[in-house]
């Protein structure tokens, strides 16, 4: 399952994973872009779901729809995210909150929705792509860095909860 398949990173991941022969499900906010990515990657439209990552109900409904088509979600790749790069004097509270909602709360909703299935199977892999600003700060990236540092910390904590299972969590720091 690739969440955020309509973005630059997500769409490339979708093509690569599909080319490997995996059964791939895609989510994205923009249905037109989602259809284009699926077509380019050779993924049937029936495995594509428009999803609002900031809405827990939307995430839960999407995961349930995926599980109607497949009994297991072996791998979750979280490629969702927005990047607001503004200095503190220009950054609005709404932009800061939106960034946290998409980049941090969205990941929380995804993992919370997928984890029960992985626990049932006693295995799974969760991959997040926080980017390099998830571990190296940059001027003007307070909102983005806060969300991605939070994502990394949350995943490290969940990894500790799962360390005696075959469910793995990893972060890929692109950039």
Residues 110/76, Cβ–Cβ less than 8 Å: yes
Strand partners, 125: 75, 168
**Annotated catalytic residue, options 3, 144, 145, 151:** 144
HEC letters along 33-64? HHHHHHHHHCCCHHHEEECCCCCHHHHHHHHH
Q: What is the crossing angle of helices 31-41 and 8-19, to 10°?
A: 30
By three-state DSSP, how is residue 28 classified? strand
- 144 in catalytic set: yes
List the catalytic residues. Answer: 144
């Amino acid at each position: 399952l690739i969440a955020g398949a309509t973005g630059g990173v997500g769409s490339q991941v979708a093509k690569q994973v599909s080319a490997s022969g995996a059964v791939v499900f895609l989510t994205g906010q923009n249905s037109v872009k989602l259809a284009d990515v699926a077509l380019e990657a050779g993924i049937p439209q029936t495995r594509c779901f428009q999803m609002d990552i900031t809405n827990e109900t939307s995430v839960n409904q999407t995961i349930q729809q995926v599980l109607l088509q497949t009994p297991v979600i072996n791998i979750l790749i979280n490629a969702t995210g927005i990047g607001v790069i503004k200095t503190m004097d220009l950054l609005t509270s709404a932009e800061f909150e939106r960034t946290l909602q998409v980049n941090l709360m969205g990941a929380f909703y995804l993992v919370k929705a997928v984890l029960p299935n992985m626990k049932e199977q006693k295995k799974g892999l969760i991959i997040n792509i926080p980017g390099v600003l998830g571990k190296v700060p940059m001027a003007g990236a307070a909102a983005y860095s806060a969300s991605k540092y939070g994502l990394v910390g949350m995943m490290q904590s969940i990894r500790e909860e799962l360390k005696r299972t075959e469910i793995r969590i990893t972060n890929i720091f692109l950039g």
